[in-house]
Amino acid sequence: MLSAAATLLGQETKLRVIAFGAHPDDCDIRAAGSAALWTQAGVAVKFVSVTMGDVGHQTMYGEPLAHRREGEAKESARRLGIEYDVLHNHDGRLLPTLDVREQIIREIRQWNADVVLAPRPNDYHPDHRYTGVLVQDAAYMVVVPYLIPEVPALRKNPVFLYYEDNFQRPNPFRPDIAVDLDDVIDKKVEALDSHVSQFYEWLPWVDGKSADVPKDPVQRKSWLKQTRTRAIKPDVRASLIKWYGAQKGEAAKYYEAFEICEYGARPDEARVRQLFPMLGN
């Protein structure tokens, strides 16, 4: 009886996080380390790519590329212990339409999300920008019962968080929450390593750096770790110290940071610690 009650309680209280990216690799870049830590803490995590990523390559496109990238996303999910969905919208052609907004609302409701992650709506890439807009547009509508009545509305609005970016206008990213990734950085690299078509082919090609990509699988991962992590800026360091205390916050080498969106639920410090059990108390 006790264990059944505990299981029931566990099901009721298990936290649920859903992350949106425009392409199958975007969520990984911004949140794979946090996903690994959440999973270790028993939190259910799902990544959603809003497009199929079907033009993100220099020698292949369309259905074969979409199929390859979906396989890479599923491999990343397997390595992280999460779920990964790819929505059937075309890469490079995403618009903030009612149709796609409703796809996003359905995903958030069906996942019964406590936390929703998304890009900010200012970005060089139109798909990233509109993914940010689409998730903002869903932020209130997820609780409205007669919008998409066949998928029950949430009774509690989730907390919406933005991924870190470097764009300064109209306002720079604010690292309200910073997660220390030192224990899981290799796991994050493993997730990125799943996206072979991107990190070892397309992105180096776009940057004119194809020759820099190591051939050896082990060297590739250390190259990823070097080139896909960034130095900690003072505002991120201050956030790490706020959440982890001086000793751990000063020592952290790898991180992911998030900004609390003004829409959706507004968490206080205690609620942030509940939603991010890896921060400790």
Min dist. Cβ of residue 7 to Zn ion (A): 39
Task: Provide the greatest CA pair distance for the chain.
Answer: 62
CB count within 10 Å of CB 150 equals 5
DSSP assignment letter at 211:
G
- Rounded Cα gap, residues 203 and 246, in angstroms: 37
3-state helix, strand and coil shares in percent for the chain, rounded to the nearest 5: 50, 15, 35
Min dist. Cβ of residue 128 to Zn ion (A): 6
Residue nearest to Zn ion (CB): 23
CB of 23 or CB of 109, closer to Zn ion: 23
CB count within 10 Å of CB 124 equals 9
Report in angstroms the alpha-carbon separations of 69 from 19, 28, 86: 17, 13, 9
Min dist. Cβ of residue 53 to Zn ion (A): 8
CB of 29 or CB of 44, closer to Zn ion: 29
CB of 23 or CB of 129, closer to Zn ion: 23
CB of 26 or CB of 137, closer to Zn ion: 26
Report in angstroms the alpha-carbon separations of 14 from 73, 97, 110, 114, 202: 24, 32, 15, 9, 38
Min dist. Cβ of residue 23 to Zn ion (A): 4
Binding site for Zn ion (CB under 5 A): 22-23, 26
Min dist. Cβ of residue 71 to Zn ion (A): 17
CB of 22 or CB of 138, closer to Zn ion: 22
Rg (the chain; Cα; Å) = 19
CB of 123 or CB of 180, closer to Zn ion: 123
Min dist. Cβ of residue 126 to Zn ion (A): 10
- Rounded Cα gap, residues 34 and 89, in angstroms: 26
To the nearest 10°, the Cα dihedral for 99, 101, 102, 105?
170
DSSP assignment letter at 169:
S
CB of 117 or CB of 232, closer to Zn ion: 117
Min dist. Cβ of residue 57 to Zn ion (A): 13
Name the helix (H) or strand (E) containing 264. Answer: strand 255-264
